């Protein structure tokens, strides 16, 4: 689904998918000290095909304009941030991953630094805060698409710019674990924490990513992301 925003950029909204390694509240600083908000969204192949078609059309239009001043780039390929979903055993699940990201801060040409954040909404469309979505959260993502040229890889690409997320089913840290699931048994005597103390002591930390990811290559302010290669 696409909508027009005030910046004259087309804004898109994904179907509801399953989040994988989301950084929606606190940015990831693994590859960039400034931080990057991001989420990999697991969707069906059919849903991914719709996203891919729109991204490919934008990239082709961008390439056509770019070739007017860069004729040697005619044979360049295309990379999109769409990947196969691979499980922990290295098997293809048959699902697809759409990769969305947004720099936590942007430095303008005049030297100003603009801080970015990701808007979060609940299933009824209300703005929410004070939550930290984890992997497994069901969500829909709002995003824009930015085309770019990568002279190093000799490819054109499209970045999916993360704008907001609507949380449909929230999963936060520790929700998938219980004392019983870890093998602990209830004891007759001993230390007992009150609910208030439990709330105060619970620390929410996003688990470290374990899936293989190609290190981004900065290109004119863009980062190359692994994904489908589509011949023009």
**DSSP sequence for 190-208:** S----HHHHHHH----PPP
Question: Which pLDDT value is given to residue 88?
Answer: 87
Question: Which pLDDT value is given to residue 25?
Answer: 96
Question: Which pLDDT value is given to residue 174?
Answer: 61
What CATH number does the domain containing 62 carry?
2.40.50.140
Question: Which pLDDT value is given to residue 199?
Answer: 54
pLDDT along the chain (232 residues), means of 10: 49 97 95 94 98 96 95 94 94 97 91 93 95 96 96 95 97 66 68 59 44 37 50 50
Identify the domain containing residue 113 by its residue range: 2-229
Task: Give how many domains the chain has, as a whole number.
Answer: 1
* pTM of structure: 0.74
Question: Which pLDDT value is given to residue 107?
Answer: 87
List, in sequence order, every beta strand (DSSP E) within the chain.
Answer: 2-4, 10-13, 17-28, 36-43, 77-80, 82-86, 92-103, 105-107, 113-115, 119-121, 138-150, 155-169, 218-219, 222-223, 228-229
Rounded CA gap, 74 and 8, in Å? 28
Question: Which pLDDT value is given to residue 35?
Answer: 96
Question: Which pLDDT value is given to residue 204?
Answer: 41
Q: Is the distance from CB of 84 to CB of 96 less than 8 angstroms?
A: yes
The separation between CA 70 and the C-alpha centre of its own chain, rounded to angstroms, equals: 31
Question: Which pLDDT value is given to residue 211?
Answer: 42
Rounded CA gap, 18 and 41, in Å? 6
Question: Which pLDDT value is given to residue 179?
Answer: 61
């Amino acid at each position: 689904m696409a909508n027009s925003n005030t910046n004259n950029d087309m804004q898109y909204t994904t179907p509801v998918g399953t989040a994988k390694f989301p950084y929606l509240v606190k940015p990831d600083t693994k590859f960039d000290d400034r931080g990057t908000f991001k989420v990999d969204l697991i969707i069906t192949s059919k849903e991914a095909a719709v996203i891919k078609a729109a991204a490919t059309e934008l990239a082709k239009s961008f390439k056509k304009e770019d070739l007017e001043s860069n004729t040697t780039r005619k044979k360049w390929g295309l990379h999109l941030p769409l990947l196969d979903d691979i499980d922990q055993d290295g098997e293809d699940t048959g699902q697809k991953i759409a990769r969305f990201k947004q720099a936590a801060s942007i430095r303008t040409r005049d030297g100003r630094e603009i801080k970015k954040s990701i808007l979060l909404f609940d299933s009824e469309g209300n703005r929410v805060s004070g939550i930290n979505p984890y992997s497994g959260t069901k969500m829909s993502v709002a995003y824009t698409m930015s085309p770019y040229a990568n002279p190093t890889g000799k490819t054109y690409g499209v970045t999916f710019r993360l704008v907001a997320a609507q949380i449909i089913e929230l999963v936060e840290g520790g929700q998938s674990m219980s004392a019983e699931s870890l093998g602990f048994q209830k004891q007759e005597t001993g230390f007992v924490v009150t609910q208030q103390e439990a709330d105060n002591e619970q620390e929410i930390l996003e688990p470290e990513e374990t899936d293989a990811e190609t290190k981004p290559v900065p290109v004119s302010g863009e980062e190359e992301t692994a994904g489908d290669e589509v011949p023009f």
